Every structure is written in C-alpha cells, then in structure tokens.
C-alpha cells in the first residue's frame, strides 16, 4: 500500500472531550485537552492499538492535526516511534477534503493510492478483517462503510490518483469553504460505496456523542475522586505585535492586538485545606514517559524549562505584593492549580506571559482582590518573568493581555520611571485590516533574536537609540493610518518596521527561516513583520486589484505550507473576558 492519512484535525470537540474538560476528578484532570484518539484505552492511547498493524501495511503514514492539538500528537509520536515530520499541522481545518489535499500538497505524494481513516478508530482483535479488507482493496476508489441503525457510517476511504487530482478544485475559495460539509461532499464524489457485513467491534468509540460515563464503563475502570468545590477558569490569549516592536523593551511605543486563535487556560480548584498544589500539565510538563528514549527526545525538543516555574513565580509575586501593600488574603483555604495551552511555543506569541496572566487573574478571583489597577497588574506580570525567572521580555505582552483588544502603548522613559508603567490607549479593533499569521513548525528559542541589542542600548549606543525612536515613530504613524482607514499606509509601515528590525539586528540574528516567510509573503502581494521576537510573521494583503485577494491568499497559504510553515487567518479578540 502507498499512504495512510489519519485525520485528527476536527475543530469541534466531541461530547467525550467536552465532558472530560468539565470534570475535575483526579483522573480526568490529567486528560484535559487531550483529543479522543489519544485517551487511554486499556493502558495506552486509543490510536496506538491499531498503528502497529498499520505500519506493516502502508509505506507512509501521515497524521493531520490542527494547531490546537498538534503538540499532543507530536508528544505522542515522540513516545511511540512515529516520525515527527509525519505529524502535519494544518492550522485550522475546514474539513477532510482540505486536509487530504493539504497532505498531498506538502508531502508531494499525489501519484500514489491513499487510504483515509479517522484518528478515533479503535481497533481490537475482532477487527482484523477490516485491515485485511483495506490491504486487498487498493485497485479502486471507494468508500467503505457499515450499516448502523439504517444509517451508513464511514470506516475508510481509498482514493486512486485520478480521484486525488479532482480534490483541489473543491478548495479554490476559502471564503465560501466554511459553509460546505466536506464529509458529505467527499461521499458524494465517490460513487462506489462498499457496505461491509460486519460492524467494527469498537464502533461506539468513534461516535461523536460517546459520553464520559460510557467511556469509563467500557474502556476504563475509574474516574478518580471528584472535586468538591466549583473550579475557577481563566483564559489569557495570544497576541501579535502589530507595530513598533521590539521597542517596548527600550522605552519606545508599540501597538498590539489580542487574538482568539490561541490561548492559555488556568484551572484553579479550591481545596478545604491550606495546601497549595501545582499540578503538572502532561503535555507541556510531562512527568511520565513511555521509554527512556522518549524522555531524551522530549528533553532534546523542549529543554528543561517547564510551565510549573511560571506558576510558582506568579504565586510568589502575587503574595509578596499583597503582603507589602496590606491586601488581606484568606490563607486558610488552599487550592490545586493546573494550566493548559495551545499557543505555539517559542514563536513570539506571548505564550509564557499568557500562562502567568491567566494564573494572576485566577488568583485575583480566588482571593477576591480588586484593588490592583490593570496597568500595575501588567507590570507585576512582567516582573514574574524578568525579576523572578530572568526571562528577557518587554511590557507589550502583559499590557495587551491585561487590557485585551487593540492597544496603543507609550513607554516613554520619564513616565515609566515615575509610574512603573506606560501610557495605554485602547483602540477600536474594527479599524484593523484582515491579518494572517504564519509560524515555523519546529521553532528554536525565541529569546535568541534579541542578541546584543539590549546591551548596546544600555551602553547608549546611538545607532540603537535612534533605531528604537524609529520603531516608536512607526507606531504613531500606524495609529493615524488606522484612524484614516488607510490600510495601504499601514501595510507599508509594517514593511518599514520589519526592514528596520532587520537592519538593527542583522540577518544572522533574524534567521533564514524568518526571512523566508517574509519573502514568500511579498511574492504574493502581501506584507509581513514579526509579531514578537521571531519564529512567526503577521501580515496582510496589500495588492491593488481586490479581485485577486482571495487567490493571492490561497496561493500564499499553499506556498508557506509547502515549505513546512503553519498558516492561520487571525481572529481578533476584543477583550480578555
């Protein structure tokens, strides 16, 4: 057989995933955020049960997932001898046809036969007939299904090269795509529907309405001890620096936008005792590994700095501030706390700041503290990273995550030194043009991009001082361009911001992969700049003929994905609530 494509990119959570997310027992807490295909069944992830058999049947196996679940599948791959390069991040899926064409476009495997299966297919020994069927059914395009209460349920699709060639025409218009039921479209495209006599033994596991109660009864023994008190949930969202960055760390001016595509979420569970417990995130901060090789690979990939330290440092700063400012806290009640995040790591989208901000707001809610102004909260969150953990960072991230929406920020030195915060102005997010985001799939440490600029600034290097003033001037001009609804001027300022950054830091620091993303954007009538410290770009279309916008953006997306980048259309977030 040629290729197996496993679709694990559904954007809507299943009933089981939702119920787990809303259950705060000791067992379910460790599954929060896990896709159903990776939930444990008899001691190992559900998908793992049939993967070993599939490896003997298919030359190549690809798993398509979305930006939210990518890290889960990447972590699973590391622990189960599955090539990480075959975990493909499609950004945000619009359906199976888009996902199939995405795989064949980026992996260039359009000439072979492809078998398509859903990730939550659960295999046991009684289903050996099904894999045998797929093994002997590679000579025609067909949809394989079974009868379930008079309704046909899809098991798999086998696509010949000629059928694959017909799929791209279905993804020619992104604006209309969200209204199309791609699964039904795919079924309609395939005339040969093979109804098998047997129903898969574990078919119920694949149902979207499978409940937590059924899952525990049939595939697990115990859900653990429930939480006795109502939990506190707080989300903090990713941000993109639209203009002026990185001058926020150099007494400059910036403009930043909160986006709803990615977020960090903290869950705080009140406890009847005084004890405080930091619960590790099994994906971001794993404590259990399938093998020692898996442990080594994960350490090689992610290093040793984990999210627990962010929560610990946040607790310390919060308590110390309240103590020093005579804010009374009820220390007779403790809590358990854990975090989850889908913000891509180390691509300059303020992922660590989001975790701290979410926890800070959860602590404020838990202890009922109402007297800390927003601008001061942003500075305190920054102090968690800068002073406690020694992380190089500017105020921009914490300000936008405190205020939400679109914010103009002025970090003028005298004002900052007097007030310990800048001047912040909330802008109307409807002024922002349509934006896109692209990022590298496997980033390096984003902090490296700052290089020696900070030291040169502190040494009053005139070149760096002038550069930061230039960044600040772009922000003032960009604000006026938005007020004037002059998107072309705003686009030109984005280009100027990037070129000034390139001049200030140099190509070696900016990095070839980052330069390539900007180059691809410009090849498709778009402009782009860094939204943070590197590893991602934020951009917009800047063509002259509006009729080419859709095809330009589609071609840009395909070009970026072909070279291994992840592309998403930005959805602004109007507030942090």
Tokens of 87: 């975990």
> In DSSP terms, which residues pair with 87 in a beta bridge?
63
What's the CA gap between 328 and 138, in Å, rounded?
Answer: 70
Contact present, 269 and 328 (Cβ < 8 Å): no
The active-site residue out of 120, 340, 397, 410 is 397
For 230, the token pair is 């109502």
Count of residues making up the chain: 577
In order of 80, 121, 145, 186, 195, the CA distances from 130 in angstroms are 23, 11, 11, 21, 12
Across the strands, what pairs with 144? 156, 194
Q: Which residue has the tokens 């926020």?
A: 248
The secondary structure of 146-200 as a DSSP string is EEETTEEEEEEEEE-HHHHHHSGGGGS-HHHHTTS-HHHHHHHH---EEE-SSPP
Residue 514 to residues 327, 441, 517, 565, Cα–Cα distance (Å)? 46, 12, 5, 10
Rounded Cα distance, 268 and 355, in Å: 13
Handedness of CA 272, 278, 284, 286 (dihedral sign): negative
Q: Which two tokens stand for residue 76?
A: 């699973």
The Cα–Cα gap between 65 and 272 comes to 40
Half-sphere exposure in the Cβ direction for 254 (13 Å, CA): 27
State both tokens at 545: 């003929």
3-state SS record for 389-453: CCCCCCCHHHHHHHHCCEEEEECCHHHHHHHCCCEEEEECHHHCCCCEEEEECCCCCHHHHHCCH
What is the SS3 assignment for 461? coil
Strand-pairing partners, residue 24, are none
Other CB atoms within 10 A of residue 222 CB = 9
Annotation marks residue 476 as catalytic: no
Bridge-partner residues for 423, per DSSP?
410
Residues with catalytic annotation?
A: 397
């Amino acid at each position: 057989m040629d290729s197996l494509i496993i679709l694990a990119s559904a954007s809507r959570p299943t009933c089981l995933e939702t119920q787990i997310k809303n259950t705060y027992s000791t067992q379910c807490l460790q599954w929060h955020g896990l896709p159903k295909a990776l939930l444990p069944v008899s001691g190992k992830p559900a998908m793992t049960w049939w993967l070993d058999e599939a490896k003997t049947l298919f030359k190549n196996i690809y798993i398509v997932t979305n930006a939210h679940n990518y890290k889960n599948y990447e972590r699973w791959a590391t622990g189960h001898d599955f090539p990480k390069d075959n975990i493909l991040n499609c950004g945000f899926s619009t359906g199976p046809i888009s996902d199939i064409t995405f795989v064949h476009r980026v992996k260039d495997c359009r000439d072979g036969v492809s078998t398509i299966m859903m990730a939550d297919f659960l295999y046991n020994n009684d289903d050996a007939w099904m894999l045998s069927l797929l093994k002997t059914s590679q000579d025609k395009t067909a949809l394989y299904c079974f009868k379930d209460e008079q309704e046909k349920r899809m098991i798999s699709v086998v696509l010949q090269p000629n059928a694959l060639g017909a799929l791209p025409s279905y993804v020619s218009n992104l604006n209309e795509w969200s209204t199309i039921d791609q699964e039904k479209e795919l079924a309609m495209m395939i005339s040969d529907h093979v109804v098998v006599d047997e129903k898969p033994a574990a078919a119920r596991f694949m149902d979207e309405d499978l409940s937590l109660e059924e899952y525990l009864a049939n595939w697990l023994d115990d859900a653990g001890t429930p939480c006795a008190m109502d939990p506190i949930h707080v989300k903090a969202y990713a941000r993109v620096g639209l203009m002026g960055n990185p001058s926020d760390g150099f007494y400059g001016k910036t403009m930043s936008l909160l986006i709803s595509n990615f977020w960090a979420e903290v869950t705080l569970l009140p406890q009847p005792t005084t004890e405080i417990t930091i619960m590790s995130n099994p994906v971001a901060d794993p404590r259990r590994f399938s093998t020692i090789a898996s442990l080594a690979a994960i350490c090689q990939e992610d290093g040793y700095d984990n999210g627990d330290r962010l929560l610990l440092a946040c607790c310390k700063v919060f308590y110390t501030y309240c103590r020093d400012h005579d804010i009374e806290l009820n220390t007779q009640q403790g809590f358990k706390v854990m975090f989850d995040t889908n913000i891509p790591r180390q691509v300059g989208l303020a992922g660590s700041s989001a975790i701290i901000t979410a926890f800070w707001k959860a602590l404020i809610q838990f202890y009922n503290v109402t007297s800390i102004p927003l601008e001061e909260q942003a500075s305190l969150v920054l102090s968690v990273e800068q002073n406690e953990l020694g992380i190089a960072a500017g105020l921009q991230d914490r300000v936008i995550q405190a205020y939400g929406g679109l914010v103009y920020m002025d970090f003028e030195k005298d004002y900052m030194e007097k007030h310990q915060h800048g001047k912040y102005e909330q802008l109307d997010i409807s002024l922002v043009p349509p934006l896109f985001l692209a990022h590298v799939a496997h980033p390096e440490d984003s902090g490296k991009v700052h290089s020696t600029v900070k030291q040169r600034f502190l040494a009053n290097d005139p070149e760096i001082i002038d550069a930061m003033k230039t960044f600040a001037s772009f922000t003032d001009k960009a604000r006026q361009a938005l007020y004037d609804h002059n998107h072309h001027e705003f686009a030109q300022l984005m280009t100027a911001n990037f070129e000034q950054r390139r001049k200030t830091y140099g190509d070696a620091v900016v990095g070839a992969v980052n330069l390539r993303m900007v180059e691809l954007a410009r090849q498709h009538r778009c402009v782009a700049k860094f939204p943070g410290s590197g590893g991602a770009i934020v951009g917009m279309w800047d063509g002259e003929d509006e009729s080419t916008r859709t095809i330009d953006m589609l071609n840009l997306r395909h070009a970026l994905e072909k070279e291994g980048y992840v592309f998403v259309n930005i959805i602004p977030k109007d507030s942090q609530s």
